[in-house]
Structure 1
């Protein structure tokens, strides 16, 4: 498997947005991994997803009004937060809230709370938030590689 620099963590109802986000990020020549399988009823983290989260440098967690309560999504977030703790400045988890989603929803998904404030997707779409997603380096300062 090729290493992905960005993992998009999302539930099935948010799959269309996750696809559009991946395509937008790929236009910047970033390697993006997202699971496009229908995982309803799956309550464990699949090995491929675990590997991709561990190899990534950044995880974008997409949460919306219809995200639901997928157990595997929670496990992806837990693993991403663990990687962020272990790898410190070399890894980041970014909550991305779809239009109309109350930031209070973060408490249902993140324990402990996310280290970074959520990015709220405006109604006019991705173009407005791409600079925020690409603003902070994914690599530690001085590594010579930044987005």
Structure 2
């Protein structure tokens, strides 16, 4: 499920809420402050966590949002994550013809002039899908083949290699349900692509085996970590680690099968192109012979 954090000024709340509802109806997971923030939450911590985990940050830029300290902070956090290659992509939406802030001045933006909430949603949904699975990929530059080198160990199946101690958050412990839980990032052997990440989330939610303490819906991929947002280290040690290992193994198996099918399809397409090129060359040779004969006859 593609996820998006929405940054906006509350003066634009009616339009933004409508866009968010349309995106949700289309199957996107939308993080909106009025839906996801709870009384007592640390604003900086919750917003930072959300931006670190989503695929996109949709920034509604209006005259009101330009003057909002929180909007500027959210855009700054999002741009920092994008520049640090954490995977988040910032999608600016200009409303009211507002001037773009300096942090977004070189970003191609959606000009929402004349668009209603549904029109904005359709453009965002189209572009998010294009970012996730681009339809026009620039071919790799043709270069002289290099000698084959043995593959590195890290090029093999993805493995769990540890816990990111710096990424562990603190529990709220305010007496509310779930307040003793916190965020635990489980480090992977390398940063996976979006296909592997989506499969891993699905296999965490529905693993081959799981304990009575299993918590579906709390897992997401962020960089080179699988983040469990709503657990404890003790739960990870006693219950979740075995489930994670099973989910990773199943994900690697499914991912390899998908890559095998993609390679088989690419090989088949390449062979079809080769046969077509040979057929064209043969036909051109035959035609050239006939043209030469016609010239001799005349």
Normalising by structure 1, we get a TM-score of: 0.73
* Corresponding residue for residue 132 of structure 1: 123
The answer to whether the 8 A contact 2:82-2:88 is kept is yes
* Corresponding residue for residue 100 of structure 2: 106
Once the two structures are TM-superposed, the CA of residue 115 in structure 1 deviates from its matched residue by: 5.2
Secondary structure of 2:58's partner? strand
- Runs of 5+ in structure 2 lacking a partner? 36-41, 135-192, 199-298
Structure label with greater radius of gyration = 2
Once the two structures are TM-superposed, the CA of residue 56 in structure 1 deviates from its matched residue by: 0.7
- The 3 A distance-change label for structure 1 pair 115 and 7 is farther
In the alignment, does 2:114 pair up with 1:123? yes
* Corresponding residue for residue 92 of structure 1: 89
The answer to whether the 8 A contact 1:7-1:34 is kept is yes
Q: Name the Cα RMSD after superposition.
A: 2.8
Q: Distance in 2 between matches of 1:65 and 1:28?
A: 29
In the alignment, does 2:31 pair up with 1:33? yes
Secondary structure of 2:33's partner? coil
* Corresponding residue for residue 58 of structure 1: 56
How many aligned positions are there?
130
Give runs of ≥4 in structure 1 deviating > 6 Å. none
Normalising by structure 2, we get a TM-score of: 0.39
Once the two structures are TM-superposed, the CA of residue 45 in structure 1 deviates from its matched residue by: 5.2
Q: Which has the higher contact order (CA 8 A, sep 6+)?
A: 1
The structure carrying a bigger helix percent of its residues is 2
